[in-house]
Structure formats: structure tokens, C-alpha cells
Amino acid sequence: MVCDRSVAFCVGGACVAKDTKERILAAALEMFSQNGYAGTNIRELAGSVGMGKSSMYRHFESKAEIWNALLDEMIAYYAERFGSPEHLPPVPDSLEGLVAMTMGMVDFTVHDEKIVMTRKVLSIEQFRDARARELATRHFLTGLTEMFTQIFAGMMDKGLLRQDDSKMLAFAYTAPISALIHLCDREPEKTEEAMAQIEAFSRHFVKTYQKTGE
Amino acid sequence: MVCDRSVAFCVGGACVAKDTKERILAAALEMFSQNGYAGTNIRELAGSVGMGKSSMYRHFESKAEIWNALLDEMIAYYAERFGSPEHLPPVPDSLEGLVAMTMGMVDFTVHDEKIVMTRKVLSIEQFRDARARELATRHFLTGLTEMFTQIFAGMMDKGLLRQDDSKMLAFAYTAPISALIHLCDREPEKTEEAMAQIEAFSRHFVKTYQKTGE
DNA sequence: CATTATAGCGAACGATCGTTCCCGTGTCAA
DNA sequence: TTGACACGGGAACGATCGTTCGCTATAATG
């Protein structure tokens, strides 16, 4: 039987197409996030993976297919990471726990290079590609909001937050944090400052919406 | 004396260079906001102003100069429109006045095509051009926040809002609104829905931070 | 073993890019 | 009228783009 690269169970120095494909996509993500799709050329892309230009076409039949495959990967990664309910973080047991959990999430999402580059690509290409547009809305707006809608509902049930519209609270909480994450993407030298701002905002938020009296 | 196109006091069908320059920049803004700087070519750009490719170089000496001139214009427009204190909207006399003022501003900024295209261009080019990066931060984050910091301070003085950190409140107020404005840029068909969300958020905000008791 | 498929390479293709050159036209000053 | 000059058009330049071709080496297949 012929080596099936779509499954990549082959071993040794050869038949590593799957691997190469992923290295290409990783390099593409990096270049697209810096110069955009139109501003990236195949020669540089191939060079950064250590290949000649033409070898690229053994793995992808066109530049557009690289873009689509990258988008597929980003969509799949997002669905796996944020789409399923079992990946919901546990409802915090205290207001301070909410702050800590928030800072943990932000710290991860701001320092994970792949996620940072994904946000950049989506910012650049959101007006040109319909699927990028959809994913951008989920990344930048609805994803975090839906997640925190459930968390806040749980915290209200526990009596940690005052009874209120949990969806509205989630939106009011995540949108400012999202804005500061964007700032970190744009001006990485301000990351520390932005993280401090996020923590201050988080504390202000819990002070505002905490359950008072009984 | 030779017609001085830098002042554009000439009349009639000729000597309208200043006008042509502005038409070129307007067309450039439109194309850059759709396909980005790298994705835009001079031929199409010239065509959309009704000129041959080469005539473009009578007015700008390169594609990069068009980009820089456009950025100059955007920076100048922003400074004039939002930079000076005399353009601050008056402090509302009531909480409902804040909601109304907010909706008026949002309605303008979401429907003014030039401003919409400016935001799109900044989204696309913020990671490639240092000046675009700076302007993006002001457009997307600090501009509105600084403006509402003063407005909220005034409303606290008037006893309309409870005493609090006006800068923090401004950030908590403007960031979610900004996020929904971005949604309108990205998915214009959701504009009505987003506007309703902004109004609901604004009302929720004033309910949360209004002065209570006597 | 011979065969076949895979994956790399350099050369080269046609298209398109930003840009330049040259020429024609209309308008102004002298 | 005659230059000078601003402005526009079309042809063409060299560079670079995405892409294809033909070749070679290697490794799995039977």
C-alpha cells in the first residue's frame, strides 16, 4: 500500500508530508500576521521553511489553498479550545477567584504566540474574507462573552454576585478586557501596563457587582 | 505668476491639482480599507479616479507617498475632530441625556463612511506601519476613554453619577461600545442589532452607576 | 531486484506590479 | 504669437509575483 500522508503514520526520514504541511502553515501564520495575505509572497514563505519555492506546490496547490487551510486550522483550533462546554473554566468560589482566573486567562492569551498571531491575521483579513470575518467576531466579541455569561450566572447562583442580567454583565466585563488584549497585540511594549489595567478593571468590576448585605 | 497648485486658488477647468490630490486620497482610502495597502494597485486606483496610471505620478511620486499623505490626513482629521478640548460635547444634564448623546455619537461614527473606512484601514495596517499603530490605539481605545473621563467627572460634580474613578468608568463605558462599533464595521448587516445593544448597555450602565439615595 | 510514488531542487513562464519616458493638449504670462 | 508649464495618455521598462516544468534522489511497494 502506498504511504498515506493524510494519516501520517509513516516513520523515518521520509513520508513526513503531514509534518511539512504543518510547518508551512506555521510559517504562513507568522508571515500573514505581519504583512497580511497580499503582502506575503511564496518565495519568502518557502524560504522560511527551508524549501525552494517550487517544493511548496507539492503540499499546497496554490497560495489561496494555504490561506484556506490556515483558516481551517484556526477555526478548528478555536472550536476545540472554546467551542465545547467541557472546556469551560470552573465557576470561581470567590470574587478574588474571578480576578485570578481572569488574569490567568489573559496572561495565556497574550503570551501564546500562536494565538496572538491568529488575532493579528483576523484583524488584517476580516474585511476581505468572509470566514475570517466570522471567526473575528467570535474571537473578539461573542466567544468570551458567552463563556462569562455562564460563569457569572454560576456566581450569581452561588451568591457571589448580585442578581443581574448575566449576559449583559459578561459583555460589560469581557469587552474592556478584549480591548486591552488588542492593545497588547498592537503595542507589545505596553503589555505589563495593560495587564495591570486589566487587573484594576477586574477588581473595580467585582466591587461594583458584588453581592451586598443579605 | 505660475499657477500655484499648493494653494489651489485657481478657478475653472484647469489648475485643479489640489482637488485631484484629494480625489486620489479619497479613492485610496476606499481601496486601502477594502484590500489593504499591499492588496491595492496603482492602476485600479488611478482608474477609479478616472485617470491613466501614469498621470497619478504628477500628484504623488510613489505609492508609499500616497499612503503617507493619507495617513497625514487621517491624523490631522482626528486631531481636529477629537484632539481639541473645545470639541468636547457638553456634559449631559440627565442620565437619559447621556444615553441620547451616546447614541448620537455612535450613530454618526457608524454611518459616516469616511470614518468607517479609516477604522478599517487602521485595523488592517496597524501591525505594519508605526504611525497607523499609534492612531489605531487612539481611535480604538484612548480617544473615547479620555473624552468620557471628563464627561463622567462633570456628571459626578452635577450629582448625576455616584462618586467613583471617572477614568475607570470611562474605560468601562467606552470599551464595550467600541467593540460593538467594530462589529458594525465588520458586519454592517448587524448594525441595527448592535445599536440596540449599545443602547441597552448604556441604560444598564447608568442604572448601575447612578447616584442613589438623597 | 525493478518499479513507483514522494519530495526536493533550479529554471523559466506569463502576468502583473510600481514606475518612467515621451508625446499631446490646453492655459497662462510676456 | 510664443514659450513655459501643468496635466493627461499610452507604451514600455525592470522587478517581482504566483505558478509550472523537468530533473534527481530517496524510500516504500511487490
Condensed to tens digits (0 to 9), the pLDDT of residues A139-181 reads: 999 999 999 999 999 999 999 999 999 999 999 999 999 999 9
pLDDT over threshold 80, residue B56: yes
- Tens of pLDDT, residue by residue over B77-112, are 999 988 888 889 999 999 999 999 999 999 999 999
pLDDT over threshold 80, residue B181: yes
The pLDDT of residue A11: 34
| End-to-end Cα separation, chain B, in angstroms | 73
The pLDDT of residue B110: 98
Residues on A contacting B at a C-beta cutoff of 8 Å = 33-39, 120, 123-124, 126-128, 133, 136-137, 140-141, 165, 168, 171-172, 175-176, 178-180, 182-183, 185-187, 197, 200-201, 204-205, 208-209
Cβ neighbours of residue A85 under 8 Å, at least 6 residues apart? none
Tell me what percent of the residues of chain B surpass a pLDDT of 70: 91
pLDDT over threshold 60, residue B48: yes
A4 pLDDT tier (thresholds 50, 70, 90): very low
Mean residue pLDDT of chain A comes to 92
- Tens of pLDDT, residue by residue over B117-145, are 999 999 999 999 999 999 999 999 999 99
CA atoms of A125 and B194, how far apart (whole Å)? 21
| Cα angle B142-B145-B148, degrees, rounded to a multiple of 5 | 150
Mean residue pLDDT of chain B comes to 92
Residue showing cell 484629494: B22
pLDDT over threshold 80, residue A15: no
pLDDT over threshold 70, residue A19: yes
Q: Quick one: which residue's CA is nearest to D27's C1'?
A: A14
Residue A62 DSSP code: S
The distance of A177 to chain B (nearest Cα, Å) reads 8
Smallest CA–CA distance from A185 into chain B, residue: B127
Which carries the bigger pLDDT value, residue B68 or residue B17?
B68
Question: Are residues A148 and A168 in contact, defined by beta-carbon separation less than 8 angstroms?
Answer: no
The pLDDT of residue B12: 32
pLDDT over threshold 90, residue A13: no
The pLDDT of residue B18: 75
Number of helices (H), then strands (E), in chain A = 9, 0
Chain D positions with any atom < 7 A from a protein CB: 5-12, 16-22, 26-30
A195 pLDDT tier (thresholds 50, 70, 90): very high
A17 pLDDT tier (thresholds 50, 70, 90): low
